[in-house]
Amino acid sequence: MRRSLAKAQSRLNTASISPHDTSGFDVAVALFSAVRQVSDEVLHAHEGKVGEISGILGAALGLDVEEVTALIQAASLHDIGKFAIPAKILGKTGPLTPEELLEIQRHPVNGAQILINAGYGPDDAAVQAARHHHEKFDGSGYPDGLSGTEIPLAARITAVADVYDALRALRPYKKPIDHKTALKIILEGDDRTRPEHFDPEILAALLAQQALVQAVWEEPTTATARPSRRQN
């Protein structure tokens, strides 16, 4: 299995995928699926956790089974555009240059395009989560500066799950944070995030389901202790 994963990842790295050329994106989505099929560790550590936590939040908000299923899939694919970003930028431990930050900030638009090329419709939850998971409820996010309920629900939910996961995870540039501290930062803010960035109803769902969210995030996977990808 490890050899299959290494092979799939190597093909992914060498595929002709560029943030300026979407012709390789169908290759990217196929390889992304291949990597996911042969590994429940590397990708599961981030994308899988964000998917599962999004599902918990969606269920708490009253979504039906079909909607929760689509949401879990959508949230699990939300960062697919990062496959077009050079690994040396994603794994950088020091501060990003403005150019590198711009490169990273292309991943929502690129990710949505990958999924559209793979056959998803523009209104599908997966495309909406990929494109809009860095929008902020107060309108200060990107790529489109949407605010409030202009931001599709799948993206608003994914955004909360994504930040929770990012705070808790070990990254090349940050230490992991425990559940209570992560929750406090999301609900009260710090120098990275503000509560106004999130839909208050989804924050209430996070608070109500915090024990389950913690349990799911802390379920052992072999990759939760290793550095994951840059979050911007």
Secondary structure class of 91 (helix, strand, coil)? coil
137, 194 Cβ separation under 8 angstroms: no
Interatomic CA distance for residues 56 and 206, integer angstroms: 9
Task: Round to whole Å and give the CA distance between 134 and 116.
Answer: 19
CA 176 to chain centroid: 17
Nearer Cβ to Fe ion (38/171): 171
Total binding residues for Fe ion by CB under 5 A? 1
Nearer to Fe ion, 85 or 118 (CB): 85
Site for Fe ion contains 79 (CB under 5 A): yes
Using rule CB under 5 A, residue 47 touches Fe ion = no
| Stretch touching Fe ion by CB under 5 A, among 61-69, 71-79, 86-94, 212-220 | 71-79
Segment near Fe ion (CB under 5 A); pick from 63-71, 75-83, 182-190, 220-228: 75-83
| Ranges within 162-221 binding Fe ion (CB under 5 A) | none
Q: Which stretch binds Fe ion (CB under 5 A): 2-10, 79-87, 142-150, 210-218?
A: 79-87
Task: State which residue, 79 or 100, has the beta carbon closest to Fe ion.
Answer: 79
Q: Is 124 in the site for Fe ion (CB under 5 A)?
A: no
Q: Whole-angstrom Cα distance, residue 169 to residue 156?
A: 20
Contact 35, 65 (CB under 8 A): no
Length of the chain: 232
- The residue ranges that bind Fe ion (CB under 5 A) are 79
